[in-house]
Each structure stands twice: as structure tokens, then as C-alpha cells.
Structure 1
């Protein structure tokens, strides 16, 4: 396993599905729907409260013990639950067997295509990272088919590693830095990759079913499921571009056509620099990675990824920015100050419009929070007019650059917890 952005995630702490994540909403409309609903209810209760006995599950769900026993047997047979041994219930008599979500069996496979990297990870049904790989790859210089072929090889390797741990990924979700519209498996526009109207699912050479999602949305979902700060928050992330996502009532708000959150092209200076999108003064022209490197005098250091990849070298411009900012280089500090100001200006508009409980800075910029947050907080304090702005409501993601890849893997995990019957229906 490798991760050029930092140490391998600690599987005991970095990613765990939060309590209640698998409990379904709504009422079933048929006998089959009732059983499907009850399977999800039992699965969600064990995921939230386990290890727990059958009797405790019955008490917490309102189902009869006979019904719970039948449902548990089905989930055990499907490899979704496991029995750990006797569970104390504080009562006289023979204790029941403790149930827990299985660390083997069905799993989620997350994939990522970045401008300069590829990634793959596998999470078990407890939400724990079991396989993690991230490698450099100059994807903007490749055709979509070439990039996806490389990604497929990485996915195959991750699947083999998962199999050695007794895990079986049942679906793959790929994070991309672009607009994913209504058509399933298709990227409408990913300018930093040079992808336009790409049928990713049709080009995908892998065997698992593939779903394509925007990286910023997946980063927000990972934040919601792994380290929730609130049920309503704005998540802003940055890698090569800047993306945003909105979570409302514990759910991702994607807009009428799935395109909500294009924060990078929100104008902060209407008569400012021309943007690649055709407009002027977009946020990315003042706070995007290329803009920050240019202002910091580091633009020349950012080139040559293909050559570094061929020679086995490694260069991380975000780490370089952090190191030089920590050393007090005036140009770097000024660049980050100006980027934070632009980010704060854009986010103030979002806060005034949406009134979220929190704003989370994620992606690569989470690693630069020490220098970005002061100017962001100042702009928010000055520009948020609908209410008094709490500086503590702007936080830095604990996941950082890991967010989109982890979120991609967790999409499948969540789907299984919320509808376990779908695995064998």
C-alpha cells in the first residue's frame, strides 16, 4: 500500500460509519418490502449499537424475537453480520450471542482519477479502510481510455489485496474532478483533465459495476459519514480546481441536474482575470492551485510531472507550499493570504444564501488551513450579514485529500447497510 499524500490511514480511527447510518426511513408497501425494510432495520441497529444481542436488537427495533432471529440468520448467511460469542444482557439466564457487522464479506471499492494521481481503496462494512493505494499519474496528458485502463489495473490490485483479507468488493465508485450530469456513468465536463462528454462506464474495462461521482460531493459525503460537524454544512475542497458541496439535513443537495456546488466558478472579481470557463474573475483564478503557485513564485516547480513519474520521482506542490509557508517565505504567505481572502469572499455569499451551520475546508487546502483560515475568517466575519458569524463554524477537514476516495468507497457501504437485501435480490 502507498499514499504519496501522507501515511497510510489508521483503520481504527480515520474512517468509521457513524451510528444510525444504516437505518432506513419510510414505510414498506408490501410483504417483500416489509422484509427488506426489516433487514435494513436490523442491519442498521447492529451497525449503530453493536456488538449487541438478538434480544437487544428486538428491544430496540420493536420486532419480535422470532422475526429478529430469522432476519439475523439471513444477514449471517450473506456475510454481513458475524457472531462474536456470548453477550451479557444484565439478566439472569443464558446470555445471547453478540452480533457485529462483519469485517469480511461484501465491501466497497472507491476509485479516483485526479489530474496528477490515481487512487483505490477498499472499506469493509464497518467503514474501516482495509486497502489503500494512491499513485502519481499524469492523467491530463492521457486519453480517458488510457487513464481508465491504468485505474482498472489499480482496482484489480486493490481487489486482490481485499480478497486476501476475506473481502469482496461488490461495486465501484469513481471520483472525478468534473461535472457529472444526469446520464449514468458519464462525465459532462472535467476541464482540468481535458474530459468532455466522456462515457466512463462504457470505457471502463473492469468487471465490477461502476458509478461516477463528482469528487467534491464524495468528499462532503465522507465528511458527513466519518467526521460529521453538523447536519447542514458547506464543504469546499481543492486539488487542481476548487469544488464545493452542500449537505442539508444530513443529505447531499445536488441540485436539479446534479450540478450544484460549482464554487470554483463563482465570480469574486466580475471584471477580473479571464477564466478557462469563458467567464471572468472566477474564484479559481485567485485561489486555485495554479493561481496560488503563480503568486507564490512556484509555478515553475509545478511542472514536469510526467518526467518525474517516469523517473520514479515525487513532488508534492501542496507540501512544498506548506513547508515554505512554515519557513515564513513572504511570497508564499502573501499568496495564501490572498487565496484565503478570495475563498472567504466566495463562501460569504454561500453562507448568506444558505445559512449553513458550518463550513468545512477539505481537499488539498486542508493542509494549508493554518495560513488560509485567518483571512477566510476575516472575510466571512465582514461579509456574512444575515447573522453574527461564529469563527469556529469554519473548520478544517480531518480527511483532507483522502476525502473523495474514502467517500467513493463508502457509497457502496452505505447502500448495503440501507438495503442489504439488494445483494441477493
Structure 2
């Protein structure tokens, strides 16, 4: 991401400093060069300095970091030099001082030196993107298909092929420092992901149960040596939303696709639950006597407000994009209008139950719901006003997600990048001398 003068911006790009690594990525940092290393204070200070560079706006100088952290200027300078050597931090052109003294050299996250892969398997597509520390998307690939009731080995092989294409693009694009180092890959999945052991426990719409996704992907050459972590797609999309400039600090994120996921964000942090299974809003019951759901239950929200349910109710082919439903509703098509009315009210009932339980005052509609927000928000708001006990004193707001395109993949990549910020010493060659400057 760039500022108006074309320079990379630190603050509006990644904003990792306030986001702890809460998803259980497996070994997303490289192995240490030595079995053990002294200097835990130095490693801590390295983390503090990198966080200041990533989160500051405008880009800070060495003196700014020293003033903000209480570290000496010489200590900050030495740590910054190490971060520059590792390709984590870059310098911009010096800024003339306002008073007498040396020009300040702004520091920003380095572009293209590192790349985090954010991937997603969903019911109708697989995709992957590469994000660097400056917040730039370096490459992106997406393949559409119908993966309902699919074989996980086949689908994951397809994802591995997409990753291979993306990695080839990164290598082929000329860059002064060569291709970026791959920090790891986060994978968003539409179902229950065990945050302790890592397997995908259940993805009803994919038809997957107890699948060791990491082990399967590890059999493919493009992913050999790349650390892989898993999380629910709604949780990762909420992470992307939480980092968006101006986003609310606490909210309920609702991700609409064929299935419906949700994530609770409290003070900027995603709440994953004890096992990472929180937020299965699509499988809350709207009507016990309703239609059978892919999960085996009846009357789940997904059967009224999921993508397939909305398109089918409107008399449209479920293979069509959600824009087809939006266009039909804008044109006043009775079937489309009725489908959105039914789906919106069911969505509002489910969200109202959620709000009564978790007490949030902002609802963010993401995925397919974002482009439909003009139709859905009034219905959801009406149900919240009727069904939420605290509504007379505080009405929850409803808005469209700000982070729309590739939200889950972006959140997955951000989580991988967070591992660098949490432990930058794993990527810094402390056994090498700092560069000769000036």
C-alpha cells in the first residue's frame, strides 16, 4: 500500500503490532541457526523495534523509536541495522530536519523481501495470495469449481498446483534482492479447525471429516519445507477486517458464502474459543421443523440465508455469482426480493440470538452479504430491535465489511506475518556483522 507520494506506508498496511498470534500455525518461523542462543533481552528489543516500524504512522526514524521505547539511540541503531540486513526493514530518503541536526531517515517494512501465503479452500473456489510486510499483494491466484462433497486429496492437490503457479510468478518477477523468502502459509477452511492439534474436524459443505490437511499438503513438492497453519475462514476474514483502518475494535463479523461463519472480535483480537470452533452461526437453528442441512440437523440458518439457499429461493442457478441476485433484486424481481426478505429475517433472528449472548454493538456483514447490505441490513436491524433485550438502550449497528476481496486469504497471510513480528530474531542473522553504513 502506498501513500500519496508513492512511498510505502507502515501504518495502514499490515498493522501487526497489536495483533498477537492466536492461531496455532505449526512452526511458521524457521529453525534457529544454532541449538540455543543467548540474549533474550536483545531479542525482545528487536521485536519492540520492528513493531514500532510496522505500526507507526508516519514512518519513524531511529530517533523516534528511541524516544518512544526508552531504548538508547545506539541500541536502536544497532537493532535497525540488523533488521535491514535481514530484509525486514527498509529506509526511505532522508527528511530535512526542522531544526539544526542530521536529516531523519524514515523506516518502513521492507517490500518483497518476505512473503506470507494466504490460501483458502471453499465450496466453489480455491485460491492463494502472497502478502509482504508492507501490505502489498505480490501475487494472487484463484480457481473456481464445485467442491461440494469433494475428495480432500484431489482438492488439496489442486490447491498445491495453484500455489506452485503463484510461487513461480514470484520467482519470475525481477526484484533487486531476488525472490521473497516465504514465511509460511495460512490456510482458511470452511469448517471446524482444531486449534490444538490442527486437523480439520468437519467441513459439512465440502463433505470433509477428520482430515489432516497439513499432512496431505506436505506430500506436494511446491509446499515442501513451507510451514502451514489452519484456521476457520470466518475467523481469518475477521482478522483482516480488524486491521482495516477505521474498523471498530469490537464487533461480530458474519461471513456469508454457501455456508455461514461468524467471528467475535474483542478489542481488535479474534476470539477463537477453547478449540477454535466458535462462530458456527450457519448451523444455529432458525426453525427446528425446517429443511435438512448438510450438517445433519434441520432448520439451520444456512438453509435460509446461505448463498445456495438465496439463489435457489430466487429461482436462480446456484452456480451464478451473488451479483446476479443483487441485480435481480435491484430490478425489482419478485423472486429475488422475496428470497432476500426471507434470508434477511432469518439472518437477523440468528444474529439477535448471538448479540443477546455475547453483547456486541456492531455487526459486520462480509462475504456475499457485503454487496447485499442495502437489502439485508434493514431486515437484520429490525430483528435486532425486536429480539435483543438491551435494544431499547443500545441498538447494535449493522454495516458492510470494509475488507471484502480475499478477506480470509488476507487474514491467513496476516497471521503468518504476525509470526515474524512476534519472533523477528528467528529471521535475523545475529552471527553476521551489521552492514557498513555511510
The residue number in structure 1 matching 2:188 is 175
The structure with more helix, counted as a fraction of residues: 1
Q: Are 1:22 and 1:43, in contact at CA under 8 Å, matched by a contact in 2?
A: no
Distance apart, 1:377 and its partner CA: 0.9
Q: Deviations over 1:147-194 (max 9, x none)?
A: 111111111222232332542222001111111014544110011111
Q: Which of 115, 138, 143 is the aligned partner of 1:135?
A: 143
Distance apart, 1:136 and its partner CA: 0.8
Q: Deviations over 1:312-355 (max 9, x none)?
A: xxxx3312111111111011111101111011111111111111
The CA distance in 2 between the partners of 1:214 and 1:52, in whole Å, is: 35
Structural mapping, 1:295-334, within 5 Å: 295-298=313-316, 301-302=317-318, 316-334=320-338
Q: Are 2:150 and 2:208, in contact at CA under 8 Å, matched by a contact in 1?
A: no
Distance apart, 1:422 and its partner CA: 2.7
The residue number in structure 2 matching 1:422 is 426
Distance apart, 1:376 and its partner CA: 0.8
Q: Which of 251, 268, 277 is the aligned partner of 1:250?
A: 268
Change beyond 3 A, Cα 1:280–1:336: same
Higher mean C-alpha displacement, 237-246 vs 126-135: 126-135
The residue number in structure 2 matching 1:195 is 208
The residue number in structure 2 matching 1:16 is 13
Distance apart, 1:396 and its partner CA: 0.4
Distance apart, 1:120 and its partner CA: 0.9
> How large is the RMSD of aligned CA atoms in angstroms?
2.4
Change beyond 3 A, Cα 1:147–1:278: closer
Paired residues, what number?
A: 395
Q: Deviations over 1:387-411 (max 9, x none)?
A: 4376672110122352111111111
The CA distance in 1 between the partners of 2:245 and 2:315, in whole Å, is: 35
Structural mapping, 1:13-412, within 5 Å: 16-18=13-15, 20-21=17-18, 32-49=39-56, 50-140=58-148, 142-163=150-171, 164=173, 165=175, 166-204=179-217, 205=220, 206-207=223-224, 208-227=226-245, 229-298=247-316, 301-302=317-318, 316-388=320-392, 393-412=397-416
Q: Deviations over 1:89-119 (max 9, x none)?
A: 4231222322211112112111111111111
Q: Deviations over 1:38-87 (max 9, x none)?
A: 11111111112252211111111110011101110110111000112313
Q: Are 2:251 and 2:265, in contact at CA under 8 Å, matched by a contact in 1?
A: yes
Change beyond 3 A, Cα 1:60–1:390: same
SS where residue 63 of structure 1 aligns? Answer: coil
The residue number in structure 1 matching 2:3 is none
Q: Are 1:23 and 1:40, in contact at CA under 8 Å, matched by a contact in 2?
A: no
Q: Are 2:92 and 2:106, in contact at CA under 8 Å, matched by a contact in 1?
A: yes
SS where residue 332 of structure 1 aligns? Answer: helix
The CA distance in 2 between the partners of 1:235 and 1:290, in whole Å, is: 20
Distance apart, 1:228 and its partner CA: 5.2
The CA distance in 2 between the partners of 1:60 and 1:387, in whole Å, is: 42
Q: What TM-score, normalized to structure 2?
A: 0.84
Q: Are 1:340 and 1:375, in contact at CA under 8 Å, matched by a contact in 2?
A: yes
Q: Are 1:233 and 1:356, in contact at CA under 8 Å, matched by a contact in 2?
A: yes
The CA distance in 1 between the partners of 2:397 and 2:96, in whole Å, is: 41
Q: Which runs of 5+ in 1 are unaligned?
A: 1-10, 25-29, 304-315
Q: Which runs of 5+ in 2 are unaligned?
A: 1-7, 22-36, 430-438
The CA distance in 2 between the partners of 1:179 and 1:113, in whole Å, is: 13
The CA distance in 2 between the partners of 1:217 and 1:346, in whole Å, is: 18
The CA distance in 1 between the partners of 2:41 and 2:185, in whole Å, is: 28
SS where residue 369 of structure 2 aligns? Answer: helix
Higher mean C-alpha displacement, 381-390 vs 200-209: 381-390
The CA distance in 2 between the partners of 1:116 and 1:23, in whole Å, is: 31
Q: Are 1:22 and 1:41, in contact at CA under 8 Å, matched by a contact in 2?
A: no
Q: What TM-score, normalized to structure 1?
A: 0.87
Q: Are 1:321 and 1:332, in contact at CA under 8 Å, matched by a contact in 2?
A: yes
The residue number in structure 2 matching 1:27 is none
Q: Are 2:117 and 2:131, in contact at CA under 8 Å, matched by a contact in 1?
A: yes
